[in-house]
Structure 1
Amino acid sequence: MDDIRIYIADQRGEIESDNVLVKSTLNYGSFSAPYRSPIGKLKHVNEWRGKGTKSIFSLTSAKGDTHVVVPLAGDLSITIGTEKHEVLLGTVFIYQAADNATGLVVSSLTAEDDEMVFQELIFSSVKDTLNLVTCLKLPIVDLNQRNKVLPLDNDAFEFRLYFGAFVGRHTFHLSLDEKFSNFFILTLDGTFEVEERLLYTGDALFLPRPTQVETECLSTAGLLLAIYF
């Protein structure tokens, strides 16, 4: 895929069952469309929704898959085999599956009827590695880190994650090196203009081979998640 492409939130696929709703930007499960195929190694982009302890999310995993999970509403409990991990708001959880790929079971740490929302990216790796789990803090607390799109430091994966927390109308120019060639950015909350393209909450934009990405927050607050691969 060499063309710039916008993915509109209202055109995502939706699958609902057993108190769980998944909205898919790219093809997932029974949702399939020719213009929603994987972008290189980026296989799936899903927003999961449920109601507190009433909802249990079973996320399948294949050998070499890397799952990126960002809580958007409610703290999460993620079980992989016999291991349990608490994933709190303000963090990102990353899991890379080894040869004996084990899926993820996600549940809520909050009250029974509280809304539960998280964003998931699934990236296909070519490396044969052991199971790898890490949890990183998002740059949202420090005032000096706001109104910027910042990398999340971790060199263990075949991609680089970026996160931006904006308050008020601000513009930020993100410069990229030549380590990777594909850039996918997703609006988690708020309204943005990215490279002169208007994105609302849930919208996404794919940019091939960018060297710089201009983002402008147009709302009172906004959150961005991006992957460079």
Structure 2
Amino acid sequence: MKINEYNVVAIEYSLKDANTNEQLDTNVGGKPLEFITGMGQIIKGLEAEILKMTVGDKADVMVAPADGYGEYNDQAVQVLPKEQFAGIDLVQGMTLYGTSEEGDTVQVTVTNFDDNEVTIDYNHPMAGKTLMFTVSILDAREATDQEMATGVVGGVASGGCCGGGSCGSSGGHSHGHSHGEGECCGGENHKHGGQGHGGCGCH
């Protein structure tokens, strides 16, 4: 079966930094990642290549930052008073989730903190990286009406991240937000470019 828009696709993948060869993520040996094509649930550079494939295909796909998680934006770093993070056991490098001024879910990384201030980075952890995916197409089918309406495969939200455990986990610190299947694969809601910094992940 050739992959088309609005198909539910199941893939197995591994992901490396194309420049350093560092292993960034994989689901090989685990549960396949399922997502709906044409709904912005995975980064566009990867989806564009998957749409050229058929079930059973395996390919290496290189994705430039512009087609992945964007270039690194220095203006997306913010320093906030530590009291805004009351009740959070801060750890350098941890991921927090919150709500922007526009109501979108935002993901931030704590890059530094002291007794008075906390520095957070709104850039995606993979911003600026050229990504190399090795992806296998395991299965594909047409999405149901319910799946099209909800954007959730099978109608049940579950974990899974194409391109980083950082999307679906917060280092053991949960802040009341659960990603649905595929939501953390680079859809537009996870590209902030330094704008809309509201909730800062500390609600």
Structure 2-normalised TM-score?
Answer: 0.27
Q: Which has the higher helix share?
A: 2
Which structure has more RCO (C-alpha within 8 Å, separation ≥ 6)? 2
TM-score normalised by structure 1 residue count: 0.25
